Amino acid sequence: MLMIVRVILSLGLLVYGALRLFGTVMFLLIGAGLLQSADFESGRQLLSDALPDMNESAIIPFSPLAYTLFSGAMGLAMTLGALGALFKRIWGVWLLALYNALFLAMFVNFGIVNAKMVHLGVTILLTFILYLLVRAKPTR
């Protein structure tokens, strides 16, 4: 039963991380002029429009490229971390913890409090549960 829970949680985080990486790659390809997509271009434009206001209170101001690369690093940490947790490797849990730390760093950097903090709380909880499941000894 514990293995099933670990697999389900890991797969969910794997899909989320992969989607985050996909979005990052799409933003980068559109920014480089190598791809056209109205949906992703509008998202990229929303980010470009929002960043000046976000940067006013930022400890470290981000360009749209820096923000996108930071988001990609978060997606990479989550994707690799979920793969590690899926195969019961403790380094996977530490990569998920890195994702949470990067996510928290974004809130601190921009001085933002919003509904995404609930998302952070959920991923911290899931990371802790996966930590327990990865460390659990097999029962027979």
- 97-133 pLDDT per residue, tens: 999 999 999 999 999 888 889 999 999 999 999 999 9
CB 59 within 8 A of CB 52: no
- Distance between CA atoms of 38 and 19, rounded to whole angstroms? 18
Confidence of residue 60 (pLDDT cuts 50, 70, 90): very high
- 76-94 pLDDT per residue, tens: 999 999 999 999 999 999 9
Q: What pTM was estimated for this model as a whole?
A: 0.90
Q: What is the pLDDT of residue 33?
A: 84
- Distance between CA atoms of 88 and 93, rounded to whole angstroms? 9
Confidence of residue 140 (pLDDT cuts 50, 70, 90): low
- Distance between CA atoms of 37 and 58, rounded to whole angstroms? 30
Q: Is the pLDDT of residue 62 over 80?
A: yes
Confidence of residue 68 (pLDDT cuts 50, 70, 90): very high
CB 117 within 8 A of CB 123: no
Q: Where are the domains of the chain?
A: 2-135
**Angle at the Cα of 124 (from 89 to 93), degrees rounded to 5?**
10
